[in-house]
Amino acid sequence: MRLWLFFCLLTASSWARPLSFPYREAGLTPEEAAAHLLNRFSYGPLPGQVQEVARAGLERWFEEQLGAPAGPLDNEFPRLSNDSRSLGQAKLRRAVTSRWQTREVMTDFWFNHFNVSTTDDDCRKYVAAYEREAIAPNALGSFLKLLQASAHHPAMLFYLDNAYSSWEDGYVAPDRSYDPLHYGNRKPANFRPKTDANKRGLNENYAREVLELHTLGVDGGYRQQDVTELARILTGWGVDKDAFVFRADRHDPNPKKFLFQVVKPNGQNEGEKVLETLALHASTARFLSRKLAVRFVSDQPPKSLTDRLQRKFLSSRGDTRQVLETLVESPEFWNREAVGAKIKSPFELEASSARILGGQMTDERDAAEQLAGMGQEVYACRPPTGWPDKPETWLTPGTLVQRLSFAHRMAAGGFRAVKVDLAKIRPAQALKTAAAALQAYADRLLPGRATANTVKLLQDAAADPNYRSAVLESTRKGQKTVPKPNPKANFEFTTPAEVNIVGLLLGCPEFQRR
């Protein structure tokens, strides 16, 4: 028996094909490629990590990341109070300190995909458990299991009102001209209207989002009739004593016709079977493949890449690990035009700043609170669409000043939540000019990046001893333009000058990109 088990393990290991990344064919050095990989599949490099990954091998780092444990996660996802700022601080701690960076990034990706929000009164108490129990354990695994976990969780059932949906004899189909969620003209800022918990009847909110946002996509081939039929299929899926429950007395017992297929009456199993159909559908594969390509490659990913990811999604039955391996082995991921092409969200900016400075996390919440000023209060995105993955979401005149102000506060150790010691990154050589100081710190804060243009762009601001104060004053006054430096200032390398230089680099366009 032992010999047979050993043979099986040996054979299985021989089937595992080692990864091979074509970054050299794209003209990237190992350091440039390591920086690109870390900026996409982690919350940014730690001090010296780019060089370390380049020496040890990019493929080795990525394979280790994909082998992250699925659980138990209580130590990393503690049972906290469910206000967004408390949760946000715990999320920031994981992003900065967790060894399993790719799992953290994918947990964030899938939570945003299956968004729930602390702004919903009924949902709020379940948000922490939802991420800990439904999203994180499945972030690198089966999409079907992820969809099932979300569909069965009280957070989702309350957030999109399926907990209130029920069948009643004599049900009359709703007026199709009634558009409570404004699907005819949806915008990211639309709030979801509150459902009356005492009102009985069919509720289509969750069914619509399962099709439009979670699986097939808005152009995935479903009809309004399918939304209604799916809502009927999911009647009875609710919550009792903080757990999923199927209430047969609320379930529509009649046959349904979903995606042109007759669904025979079978209680809860009707919904379970439909979820499996949706998870493995070609439209779902296409929709998710493009969404992953947008998140990890570029805002307009090549069709050749999305087609390749779609094929892998279908052949692997929605295995996220295999899809990510295919993505990172694709030449499109390593194209030089894709390097630094994505704008960091405010959360990514905070986490990557703390990581590159070697910051130590505390239990304070002030860094998480700063996110709201930059336009992103985590766990509090109201619409079910989640945060849009578009540069215009984060880059507005007002948020640019907020981002630069944040960078200067972080450099000065202005957040109780993150203890920063600039001595960890301070160059050993004497720094007699602003250009020399900028270059020395850029080598540490922007490893694997081209920095010549950044040094030239920031030289006047680095030489101006009053520039940091001007930035913070602009923020205090609510100004939307970045102040101009004094081009005639004389540079002297002092502690305030060091803080100013680090703040400038954390706030520069190159660092704002990943």
Domain identity same for 355 and 485: yes
Number of domains in the chain: 2
- Band of the pLDDT at 168, cuts 50, 70, 90? confident
**267, 282, 301 — which closes off a domain?**
267
Domain identity same for 215 and 359: no
- Mean pLDDT computed over 158-177: 71
**211, 239, 267 — which closes off a domain?**
267
Q: Tell me: pLDDT of 192 over 70.
A: no
Burial label, 243 (beta-carbon count in 10 A; 0-12, 13-18, 19+) = exposed
**227, 252, 267 — which closes off a domain?**
267
Would 250 be classed as within a structural domain? yes
Q: For position 67, what pLDDT does the model report?
A: 96
- Residue range 283-312, pLDDT digits in tens: 999 999 999 999 999 999 999 999 999 999
Would 426 be classed as within a structural domain? yes
Domain identity same for 353 and 242: no
Q: For position 177, what pLDDT does the model report?
A: 41
- Residue range 47-95, pLDDT digits in tens: 999 999 999 999 999 999 999 998 656 566 666 566 777 888 899 999 9
Domain identity same for 353 and 229: no
Domain identity same for 260 and 357: no
- Residue range 334-362, pLDDT digits in tens: 999 999 999 999 999 999 999 999 999 99
Domain identity same for 477 and 364: yes
Domain identity same for 481 and 354: yes
Domain identity same for 255 and 369: no
Comparing 489 with 156, the larger pLDDT belongs to 156
Mean of all residue pLDDT scores within the chain? 90
- Residue range 406-445, pLDDT digits in tens: 999 999 999 999 999 999 999 998 899 999 999 999 999 9
Would 255 be classed as within a structural domain? yes
- Residue range 466-495, pLDDT digits in tens: 999 999 998 888 888 888 998 888 899 999
Domain identity same for 231 and 369: no
What is the torsion angle, in degrees rounded to the nearest 10, for the CA atoms of residue 86, residue 87, residue 90 and residue 94? -160
Q: Which two tokens stand for residue 436?
A: 């020399």
First to last CA, the chain: 50
Q: For position 495, what pLDDT does the model report?
A: 95
Q: How many CA atoms within 13 Å lie on the side-chain side of 64? A: 11
Q: Which residue type occupies 325?
A: E
Would 420 be classed as within a structural domain? yes
Number of Cβ atoms within 10 Å of the Cβ of 227: 21
Q: For position 363, what pLDDT does the model report?
A: 85
Would 112 be classed as within a structural domain? no
- Mean pLDDT computed over 263-272: 98
Residue 444: which domain range?
Answer: 346-512
Domain identity same for 241 and 365: no
Would 260 be classed as within a structural domain? yes
Would 206 be classed as within a structural domain? yes
CA distances for 474 relative to 271, 345, 501, 502, angstroms? 54, 22, 18, 19
Q: For position 81, what pLDDT does the model report?
A: 63
**Which residues in 330-379 belong to E strands, given as ranges?**
360-361
- Band of the pLDDT at 14, cuts 50, 70, 90? very low
Q: For position 84, what pLDDT does the model report?
A: 72
- Band of the pLDDT at 8, cuts 50, 70, 90? very low
Comparing 182 with 442, the larger pLDDT belongs to 442
206 neighbors 152 (Cβ within 8 angstroms): no
Question: Could you give the CA distance from residue 179 to residue 43 in angstroms, rounded to a whole number?
Answer: 39
Domain identity same for 258 and 351: no
Question: Could you give the CA distance from residue 206 to residue 151 in angstroms, rounded to a whole number?
Answer: 9
Q: Which two tokens stand for residue 324?
A: 């990510």
Q: Which two tokens stand for residue 433?
A: 């000019």
DSSP state of 350: H
504 neighbors 458 (Cβ within 8 angstroms): yes
Domain identity same for 374 and 242: no
- Mean pLDDT computed over 308-319: 98
At 280 the three-state DSSP class reads: coil
**Three-state secondary structure readout of 139-184:** CCCEHHHHHHHHHCCHHHHHHCCHHHCCCCCCCCCCCCCCCCCCHH
Q: Which residue type occupies 95?
A: A
Would 438 be classed as within a structural domain? yes
354 neighbors 419 (Cβ within 8 angstroms): no
Residue 2's H or E segment, with its range, is: helix 2-15
Question: Could you give the CA distance from residue 244 to residue 225 in angstroms, rounded to a whole number?
Answer: 26
